[in-house]
């Protein structure tokens, strides 16, 4: 675990037209850690992910992954560094099949010529098939992603994230629209993934966060309000005021 890189946000602020989406946010995610991030709407959870993945440039502050400053890189560069992201609204390529979506996500050379020459070998096929089994979409391999149900789309996107073989996974609301048993399955999967990789989960569903059972960070108005175990933050008076009490 110690060989992994840690994610370090240091005093990050993002200002949109005078609105402070992130306000001097500092956060450390250790290698192999599974971290839940909760907070009311507008607390800056998604903006935090945007900053880490290069979609949004911070107005101030540093974002370090190991020794690398992520604020100087573009989305593709950050993804290739080993940071994968699942979006709040599952996003994939509807005109491609489940198999092809996973194949595109599979870690492999990303240039045009390399893609042109790409041949699906046995090892790659096995990895894709293993992932399809893991996310329960083996039967749907040749179906277009566009016809999947919402829960299946969530799963496919998690599968795509796994194919990228990232060191750090950022997972935005993974269980929205899932049934209870699917939610349980997802929690188990994320716990299993963590350890080998760092995982940051943004979630509204407190039961789910409890099921993950790890360290929780509460964001409010763009900075950290409280941090600790789920019991600790649920009993934190400030958290109850701004979030849980509502």
Identity of the residue, 164 or 198, whose beta carbon is nearer to other proteins in the bound complex: 164
Stretch that binds other proteins, among 36-44, 81-89, 205-213, 218-226 (CB under 8 A): 81-89
Give me the helices (H) in the chain, please.
45-52, 75-81, 98-105, 112-117, 122-134, 150-163, 180-193, 206-212, 230-234, 237-239
Beta-carbon neighbour count of residue 60 at 10 Å? Answer: 14
> What backbone torsions phi and psi does residue 34 show, to the nearest 5 degrees?
-110, 115
CA contacts within 13 A on the Cβ side of 179:
4
Residue appearing with tokens 């290739």: 80
Q: Does 115 bind other proteins (CB under 8 A)?
A: yes
Stretch that binds other proteins, among 8-16, 68-76, 204-212, 227-235 (CB under 8 A): 68-76
Q: Does 94 bind other proteins (CB under 8 A)?
A: yes
Binders in 195-234 for other proteins, by CB under 8 A: none
Q: Give the residue, chosen from 87, 88, 127, 182, that forms a contact with other proteins under the rule CB under 8 A.
A: 87
Identity of the residue, 77 or 213, whose beta carbon is nearer to other proteins in the bound complex: 77
Site string for other proteins, 6-45 (x = CB under 8 A): ----------------------------------------
Compute the distance between CA of residue 216 and CA of residue 125 in angstroms, rounded to an integer.
Answer: 37
Stretch that binds other proteins, among 10-18, 96-104, 129-137, 176-184 (CB under 8 A): 96-104
CA contacts within 13 A on the Cβ side of 150:
10
Q: Give the residue, chosen from 27, 34, 105, 169, that forms a contact with other proteins under the rule CB under 8 A.
A: 105
Residue appearing with tokens 């949109």: 16
Compute the distance between CA of residue 138 and CA of residue 130 in angstroms, rounded to an integer.
Answer: 9
Dihedral over Cα of 59, 60, 66, 67: its sign: positive
Minimal distance in Å, beta carbon 86 to other proteins? Answer: 9
Q: Does 85 bind other proteins (CB under 8 A)?
A: yes
Minimal distance in Å, beta carbon 80 to other proteins? Answer: 4
Compute the distance between CA of residue 109 and CA of residue 115 in angstroms, rounded to an integer.
Answer: 7
Q: Does 118 bind other proteins (CB under 8 A)?
A: yes
Coil vs helix vs strand at 15: strand
Q: Does 111 bind other proteins (CB under 8 A)?
A: yes
Residues at the site binding other proteins, with contacts judged by CB under 8 A: 53, 55, 74-76, 79-80, 84-85, 87, 91-97, 100, 103-105, 110-113, 115-118, 141-142, 160, 164
């Amino acid at each position: 675990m110690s060989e992994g890189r840690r994610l370090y946000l240091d005093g990050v602020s993002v200002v949109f037209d005078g609105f402070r989406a992130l306000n001097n946010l500092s956060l450390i995610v250790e290698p192999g850690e599974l971290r839940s991030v909760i907070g009311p709407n507008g607390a800056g959870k998604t903006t935090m992910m945007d900053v880490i993945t290069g979609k949004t440039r911070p107005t101030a502050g540093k974002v370090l992954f190991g020794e690398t400053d992520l604020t100087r890189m573009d989305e593709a560069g950050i993804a290739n560094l080993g940071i994968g992201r699942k979006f709040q609204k599952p996003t994939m390529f509807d005109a491609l099949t489940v198999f092809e979506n996973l194949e595109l996500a599979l870690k492999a050379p990303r240039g045009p010529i390399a893609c042109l020459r790409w041949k699906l070998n046995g090892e790659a096929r096995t990895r894709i098939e293993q992932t399809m089994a893991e996310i329960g979409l083996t039967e749907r391999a040749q179906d277009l992603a566009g016809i999947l149900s919402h829960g299946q789309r969530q799963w496919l996107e998690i599968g795509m994230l796994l194919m990228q073989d990232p060191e750090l996974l950022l997972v935005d609301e993974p269980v929205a629209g899932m049934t209870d048993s699917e939610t349980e399955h997802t929690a188990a999967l994320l716990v299993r993934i963590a350890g080998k990789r760092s995982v940051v989960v943004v979630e509204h569903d407190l039961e789910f966060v409890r099921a993950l059972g790890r360290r929780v960070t509460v964001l409010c108005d763009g900075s950290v309000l409280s941090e600790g175990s789920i019991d600790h933050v649920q009993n934190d008076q400030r958290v109850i005021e701004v979030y849980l009490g509502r």
